[in-house]
Amino acid sequence: MDGTFDREALETLGWRGGDGNAAYLDKTLRHRGIELSLDDRVSARDIFQLFLYALAASILTYLPFLVLAVLFGLASGSGEAFVAFYTIGSIASIVVFWFVLLGIKTPEPISEWRVLLDGRTEQADSVYSKIAGTLMVRGIPLRLDRRRIRTGLGRRQVSNRLVLTDGPYTAYISVFTYGSSLYLGWMMWRSRRGAALIWQFATDLVMGILGRGDTELIMLRTEQPRAMREAVHAACREGLVVAIDQTPVPVEYGFPHGLPPIEGDGSGVHGAGPDLPPQTFPTQAFPVQPPAHTPPPPVRPPSFGDPQQP
């Protein structure tokens, strides 16, 4: 009875044995704590760290001018050279401070997923095309850039990449061969400049003081990147199924105009090399048969008693 109950429970949950998609969806039925990696609020510690970066860059810019001011001041015996270099150094350090404070980009890791499949190197182009085509067919509202980067001297040492961007969020999908294995994975990052961090910190602070810093509104800002992450992961799982089942996918499915050029090859314009040969894809067309040839009727040997021809 216990075994029967277990089977019925699994069927209720939609479990289908080795189906990876079913296993993934079954795990999403569990509730868990709120994930804070996508929370875009800025803490006072982040602002202080940003201030230290800008201050360090300002000091490093000011020190050479200070040394020159002292040397030229001692050599000339007058204070004009010292004042000139001191003034230039002060202005340059102030400009560098604000440039770094407002313009520096701070990368923030969000999450990642990867898998290494042995004996699936021939499926690299199919997986790459499947993922790119899936993202296009589903109409994901993301900017999609396609890149293929030369990583070595071998013909197969090419990293196939898809870069998806939505505001400050960027996801990198990588498909490449590693020895006799195929690597498939993605990473998601958030990158914001110092001006955006300061503005977000000031906005949240003012909204909190005014009593408008509602938690629901703060978490609503994370819904788009959450959907972006799930869309990227779903497309990569489609590519994973192609690699496991060794299903051929035509290059035209994900790249109607052919694979993007290889960067870093050195044999083309701006470092773009020739494309890898597209993978052939079996079609359902039937071969054309030649017209049937009707053989002549066989000559029947004469039998005894038949009339003789003259």
pLDDT digits (tens, 9 = 90+) for 203-232: 888 888 887 767 777 778 888 999 999 999
Q: What confidence category does residue 184 fall into, taking pLDDT thresholds of 50, 70 and 90?
A: very high
Computed over its alpha carbons, how large is the radius of gyration of the chain? 33
By residue range, what is the domain housing residue 92? 45-103
In the block, tokens 């993922």 appear at: 131
Burial 250-283 (b: 16+ CB within 10 A, else e): bbebbbeeebbbbbeeeeeeeebbeebeebeeee
Cα–Cα distance, 108 to 1 (Å, whole number): 52
**Confidence class for position 39, pLDDT limits 50, 70, 90:** confident
Determine the pLDDT at residue 59.
Answer: 95
pLDDT at 209: 82
What is the value of pTM for the model shown? 0.69
Q: Are residues 235 and 248 in the same domain?
A: yes
Q: Mean pLDDT over all residues of the chain?
A: 78
Closest CA to 111 of 232, 237, 30: 232
* Domain presence at residue 259: yes
Q: Which two tokens stand for residue 284?
A: 């359902």
User: Is residue 63 located within the same domain as residue 164?
Assistant: no
**Which is more confidently placed, 155 or 10?**
155
Same domain, 152 and 192: yes
Distance CA 238, CA 231 (A): 11
How many domains would you assign to the chain?
2
Length of the chain: 310
Closest of 31, 178, 208 to residue 116, by C-alpha: 178
Quote the tokens at residue 187: 């990473």
